[in-house]
Structures are given as C-alpha cells and as structure tokens.
Structure 1
Amino acid sequence: MELLIGEPLALDLLNTRTHDLDVLDTPGDFQTWLARQAGRLDPPSGPLTPEGLAAVRRLRGHVAAALDAVRAGDPPPDAALAAINEAARAAPAHRVLEWRDGGPRVRAERDGEAPAALLAQLAEAAVDLLADPAARRVRGCEGPGCLLLFLPAHPRRRWCSPDLCGNRVRVARHYRRHKEA
C-alpha cells in the first residue's frame, strides 16, 4: 500500500483513495493508515465499524467537495460546510491540565464515542486547511492516473512523491526517448 503521508492531515485523509486502492474500504487498511498518523491523530479505542468507516468516507467526500471549490476560487458548498462543522461539533475538545514529572502538561481530550471523536479530529483538520490561504495552492499530482493531492513547499513540485509518480514519469520519458532513437 503506497500512500502519501505527511501532508496536512486533511490532505492525508483525501489521499486515502488512490487509483487502485481505497483505504476506507477495509478496517484493516484504515487501521494501518491510522497507525501511520501517530502523533497527529488520536486513534479510536478499537477498530471502526463498517458504519464508522462509512461516516469517514462521507466526511472525506465533503472535504473533497469543499477543497475543490476553494482551489477553484469559489466558496465551498453549503452541504459540505454543514457536514464538516457537524462532525467537528460532535466531539468537542477540551484542554486538560496534568502535572507530570514535576511540571505541567496540557493535552486535549474529547467527549464523545470513538467514531465521533475521530470524525471531529478529521473535520477540525479540514477546517484548518480550508481556512488557510494556502488551500488554494493545493495541487493534484501530475503522474498519470494519480489522484493524490499535496501542498507544494516549492512552486516547481509536480508529483505527489519523487519516489512514486516522479520516478514513474521519468522512467516512461526515458523509455520513450530511447525507443524513438
């Protein structure tokens, strides 16, 4: 399973669907994706049910619709905004102060069941991305058939990953040149 991980969390959510794989089809694939998001996302206490995965897929669809509109310079659809805000509201976060190792530690804790808490985290990541002016710079990979999105740190970036699509494009270009010669 080759996935692009390390973009803003909302883009990583959108990138759970590639041309040949949808991580949200099976609980096992989704658990693997969640594990790769360690430190960025509090995983649910147990595996998501099929209904929970369906809810994440629906949220992903709303985030995709909103981001597509923002990238085009349009306001996001009302239905997408309502769904994102509803998911964020379902498990609000509150700060908890703890005292460990002789000093304070602040962490976020969420109310709500596991699926709602996960959806809220993903929705808040979408809110952060969509509210950021950088959302208009999100690009789609230029690799043939690639659906992955990225936020380029450099304006010349064209591929989701130089090791994935970048290498495929370069190899295909090399093959075409040598075949024609």
Structure 2
Amino acid sequence: MSDLVPLTGEPLALDLVNTRPATGDLLATPDDLRAWLGLQADRFPEARELAAAELTAADLAAVHAVREHTAGAVEHARNATPPPAEDLEHLNRAQREAPAISELAWNGEAVTATLRRTGSPGARLAAWLAEAAAGLLADPAVTRVRQCEAHDCVLLFLPAHPRRRWCSAARCGNRTRVARHYQRHKPA
C-alpha cells in the first residue's frame, strides 16, 4: 500500500490528521480534498454532498486549519497534558461558524430529522471535522491513541487491540517485518 493513499478507518479526526504523513500532504489541492471526502462518504451526513461541491482553496485552507489544531490538541490529550487553548478555541470557532440544525422532513410515512449545517461548503466541512475532533478529544480513549512504531511513519491510530504497533499491518507492518528479516539474513 502506498503512503500516497490515505489510511481510513480510524476515528474521523485521526483520519484527518493522518492526511499529513511524513511523505507530504495528501490534501494539497481541492481535488485531493474531494477524493478524501469520497473515502469518508459514510462518516458524516453531508460528506457525499460536500464531496460533490465545488471546493475552493479557501475551503481547503479551512480544513488544513482544523487538521493542524486537531493534531496539536490530540498530541497533548493522548499524552494526558492539557491541549493548547488556541487549538481548542479554533475547533470551537469552526463549529460555531456552521451551526447544525435537525432538518425536518416528511418521507411519506413519518417525520425524519437529518442533521444539517448552514454556511459555505468549507465552513460546513470544517465544522463537521472540528466536531469529530471534539468527540475524540472528549473521549477518555484519546489517551490510548498511538503513533505508528515504524521508524519513518508519523501516522496515529486508536488500537482496538493492545498489541497493535503499526498504523497498518499492510503498510508499515509488512515493511518493518521485511526490513527485520533482511537484517537477520543479509550476507556478511
């Protein structure tokens, strides 16, 4: 698996932070952001709609800001130290800039309520991602978030099993095992 393909499947806030691996930025353009949203389509109500929207450089900048503040806050929280007030305030502000409402509709049989946000696509996306960060930061499990043990990897994960050591067994796990095998069997 290439380092240029975003890992998905961790809490949404970690998936966002992990778009900045050691090899560069996986969200360098609005098209990259649109592709990443496509991978996250089932993670929050408006993901598909936002992936289809015309995303701009300003929208991308809003997501980058949420990513950086999330990364800073998670780094502190996972080490059981207080996150910087600036990081928390930015995440709060991002949520306030695109308030959520429960949009009511009749589906022919019953009233339905769908959570929707108001504002520009970038503000709505930043708010959803900041909300995901807030959920992770407030969860006591945040102290279990780990960094991949591969020497050249900076990705984070929330292990479901206490012995998990790598962001991905297919990515870093295999690479580490192959390197170890080579070291044990290399010609003298």
TM over 0.5: yes
SS in structure 2 opposite 1:76?
coil
Task: Give the distance between the partners of 2:155 and 2:118, measured in 1 at CA.
Answer: 32
Whether 1:40 aligns to 2:43 is yes
Moved more, 39-48 or 79-88: 39-48
Task: Give the distance between the partners of 2:157 and 2:81, measured in 1 at CA.
Answer: 19
Whether 1:26 aligns to 2:29 is yes
SS in structure 1 opposite 2:80?
coil
Tell me the CA shift for residue 110 of structure 1.
1.0
Match for residue 139 of structure 2?
132
Letter of the aligned partner of 1:177 in structure 2?
R
Tell me the CA shift for residue 49 of structure 1.
1.3
Match for residue 86 of structure 1?
93
Whether 1:49 aligns to 2:52 is no
Task: Give the distance between the partners of 2:168 and 2:29, measured in 1 at CA.
Answer: 25
Tell me the CA shift for residue 26 of structure 1.
1.4
Task: Give the distance between the partners of 2:120 and 2:143, measured in 1 at CA.
Answer: 33
Contact 2:58/2:122 (<8 A) preserved: no
Contact 2:62/2:123 (<8 A) preserved: no
Contact 2:98/2:118 (<8 A) preserved: yes
Tell me the CA shift for residue 16 of structure 1.
0.6
Task: Give the distance between the partners of 1:125 and 1:95, measured in 2 at CA.
Answer: 17
Letter of the aligned partner of 1:10 in structure 2?
A
Tell me the CA shift for residue 97 of structure 1.
2.6
Identity across matched positions, percent? 52
Alpha carbon RMSD of aligned pairs, Å?
1.5
Task: Give the distance between the partners of 1:46 and 1:2, measured in 2 at CA.
Answer: 22
Match for residue 67 of structure 1?
74
Letter of the aligned partner of 1:31 in structure 2?
R
Task: Give the distance between the partners of 2:67 and 2:116, measured in 1 at CA.
Answer: 23
Task: Give the distance between the partners of 1:46 and 1:4, measured in 2 at CA.
Answer: 23
Letter of the aligned partner of 2:127 in structure 1?
A
**Partner residue of 1:9 out of 8, 12, 16:** 12
Task: Give the distance between the partners of 2:187 and 2:165, measured in 1 at CA.
Answer: 25
Letter of the aligned partner of 2:97 in structure 1?
A
Task: Give the distance between the partners of 2:62 and 2:101, measured in 1 at CA.
Answer: 23
Moved more, 146-155 or 102-111: 102-111
Letter of the aligned partner of 2:26 in structure 1?
V
Whether 1:163 aligns to 2:163 is no
Q: Residue deviations 1:38-89, cap 9 Å, x none?
A: 0113232523211221221111111111111111211111101110000011
Q: Residue deviations 1:90-138, cap 9 Å, x none?
A: 1111112322252343211111111111010000000000000000100
Instruction: Structure 1 unaligned segments of length 5 or more: list them.
Output: none
Letter of the aligned partner of 1:144 in structure 2?
H
Large movers: runs of 4+ above 4 Å: none
Q: What TM-score comes out, normalization by structure 1 length?
A: 0.94
Task: Give the distance between the partners of 1:6 and 1:20, measured in 2 at CA.
Answer: 20
